[in-house]
Amino acid sequence: MQLAELMSLRPVPSAGLLVTVTGRCPLHCAHCSTTSTMASPEPDAARLLRFVGSFEATDRPEVLMLTGGEPLLRSDLTAELAGRARAAGTRVALLTGAWFAARGGGNRPGSGPGGPDRAVIPPAVMRAIGRLDHFSVSIDAFHEREVPRARAFSVVRQVLDRGIACSFHVVGDGPRDPYLADVTTDIRRTFGDRVPMLVNSLRPVGRAASWAAARAVPDPDPDVDTDPGRVRPCSMAAWPVVAADGTILACCNQHTVDRRPAPAHLTVGHLDGSDWTSVSRRVRSAPALRMIRTVGPGHMTARYGTAAGAGPRPGYCDGCRSLGEHPEVLAAADRLAGGPAGALLDLHVTQRQREAGPVSFVRRHGTAGYEDLVALPGTPR
């Protein structure tokens, strides 16, 4: 499964499920959006297995995306989750920081075959990787301080040799960041067209919240500030996300995933008491989520809110999280999107986004100038 196909499915309601395998990570990257430590919470393994075990051949997500924290810290659980998902016909992707290839430990210079730049992948980790359909490694200036670039490249090379599709998730300071130009060129020089990339810009969330605002790139959509009420669909309200505490949300924004109590209109279940069928149905049919996906929260508040002009205007995601404070807006969503017309509009917007292709999708959500790297030559764009 190539990165381009993953991105083409991203706007499709319930086409994928994002699972936080653990909130823990041994790395200390200064920009970590999840502020992960080795003391962070993690979902109960039995509950995760039960939930993924509720996938059926006729009712399942197309993709199970395993993330964290660092999902490969729980390599046995990762392997079992992947096995259960694939048994139902779901393909499995995983995003890792490649902590096992960090400096020191079993990867000391000269300690493994091939010299100091060759990463040694522990057998349990490699067994988990062997059950994947897509393997992605995070790489950026912060990761490179703990996992050298050559080691990350070595990991990807070994996984490619097993016939598993790979990609890099790259983060930088924006389109003009020289680091992005350097690392993407190096990846192309090393792997040619075999390893695509998803390139994003640093945001002031998680550990970076206290320092990244001064370095944050301008919003790529200047119309947001001048016309917050215009139609601006949200593609991120399509795949449910299992948070570390077991809450299941219809949004992958880290502020939303971490916020407790979670916004009721963005909560679609919990590992206790939910299965895939009930979660998927709510994602696809909840009127508020349909409206968020088709017109966006700003348009909803501007058109149907009674206090749209009062006080400072919240940002796009803040405005979405605060929709629960506007019952009149949610009531309008129920009237407009609760029936067949709402389902048809949702389907139409989804089809338009899929027809535009993965490069167009990344152009709207990633770093300008690097969107073509998401698709290998010859794949749908």
The CATH number that applies at residue 119 is 3.20.20
Give residue 111's pLDDT: 44
**Does residue 119 sit within a domain?**
yes
Specify whether 173 is located in the same domain as 228. Answer: yes
Alpha carbon distance 38, 177 (integer Å): 31
Is the pLDDT at 211 greater than 70, yes or no? no
Residue 77 is assigned to a structural domain of this protein: yes
| pLDDT band at residue 281 under the 50/70/90 scheme | very high
Same domain, 314 and 261: no
pLDDT digits (tens, 9 = 90+) for 237-251: 999 999 999 999 999
Assign 3-class secondary structure to the chain. CCHHHHHHHCCCCCCEEEEECCCCCCCCCCCCCCCCCCCCCCCCHHHHHHHHCCCECCECCCEEEEECCCHHHHHHHHHHHHHHHHHCCCEEEEEECCHHHCCCHHHCCCCCCCCCCCCCCCHHHHHHHCCCCEEEEEEEHHHHCCCCHHHHHHHHHHHHCCCCEEEEEEEECCCCCHHHHHHHHHHHHHHCCCCCEEEEECCCCHHHHHCHHHHCCCCCCCHHHHCCCCCCCCHHHCCCEECCCCEEECCCCHHHHHCCCCCHHHEEEECCCCCHHHHHHHHHHCHHHHHHHHCCHHHHHHHHCCCCCCCCCCCHHHHHHHHHHCHHHHHHHHHHHCCHHHHHHHHHHHHHHHHHCHHHHHHHHCCCCCHHHHCCCCCCC
- Asked whether residue 380 is assigned to any structural domain, the reply reads no
In a domain, 381, yes or no: no
Number of domains forming the structure of the chain: 2
Residue 106 scores a pLDDT above 90: no
Residue 223 has pLDDT above 50, yes or no: no
- 292 compared with 213, residue with greater pLDDT: 292
User: Does position 293 have pLDDT exceeding 90, yes or no?
Assistant: yes
pLDDT of residue 333: 95
pLDDT of residue 292: 96
Same domain for 8 and 24, yes or no, is yes
Per-residue confidence band for 122, with pLDDT thresholds at 50, 70 and 90 = very high
The owner of tokens 């048809």 is: 344
Quickly state the pLDDT bin for 219 (edges 50, 70, 90): very low
Beta bridge partners of 267: 249
CB 61 within 8 A of CB 88: no
Question: Is residue 60 within 8 Å of 89, Cβ to Cβ?
Answer: yes
CB proximity list for 209: less than 8 A, separation 6 or greater: none
225 part of a folded domain: yes
The overall average pLDDT reported for the chain is 88
Q: Which of 22-36, 229-243, 262-276, 355-369 has the highest mean pLDDT?
A: 262-276
CA atoms within 13 A on the CB side of 336: 18
Q: Residue 378, by phi and psi: left (phi above 0), alpha (psi -120 to 50) or beta?
A: left
Q: Please indicate, yes or no, whether residues 264 and 310 belong to a single structural domain of this protein.
A: no
- pLDDT above 90 for 33: no
Examine residue 167 and state whether it is found in any structural domain, yes or no: yes
> Are 250 and 228 found together in one domain?
yes
Radius of gyration over every alpha carbon of the chain, rounded to an integer in angstroms: 21
Worst-scoring range by mean pLDDT, 23-27, 115-119, 344-348? 115-119
CB 63 within 8 A of CB 165: no
Distance CA 316, CA 296 (A): 8
Cβ neighbourhood burial of 327 (10 Å; 0-12, 13-18, 19+):
exposed
Q: Which candidate, 354, 341, 236, places its Cα nearest to that of 293? A: 236
Give the span between the Cα atoms of 98 and 137, in whole angstroms: 7
Residues present in the chain in total = 381
The verdict on 122 and 254 lying in the same domain is: yes
Asked if residue 214 and residue 325 are part of one domain, the reply reads no
- Res 221: pLDDT: 45
151-175 pLDDT tens trace? 999 999 999 999 999 999 999 988 9
Cα→Cα distances 6→166, 332, 361, Å: 12, 33, 11
* Contact of 149 with 186, CB cutoff 8 Å: yes
Question: Which residue segment(s) compose the domain that 243 sits in?
Answer: 3-282+357-374
Between 214-228, 241-255, 294-308, the lowest mean confidence (pLDDT) is in: 214-228
Asked if 50 and 192 sit in the same domain, the reply is yes
61 and 113 together in one domain: yes
Instruction: Report, as an integer, the average pLDDT of 79-92.
Output: 98
Residues 301, 225: one domain?
no
Residue 379 within a domain: no
104 vs 49: which has the higher pLDDT = 49
Same domain, 144 and 241: yes
Report the percentage of the chain scoring pLDDT > 70.
Answer: 87
pLDDT band of 41, cuts 50, 70, 90: confident
Is the pLDDT confidence value at 327 over 70?
Answer: yes
Q: Is the pLDDT of residue 177 over 50?
A: yes
Do 278 and 289 have their domain in common?
Answer: no
Q: By the 8 A CB rule, do 326 and 299 touch? A: no
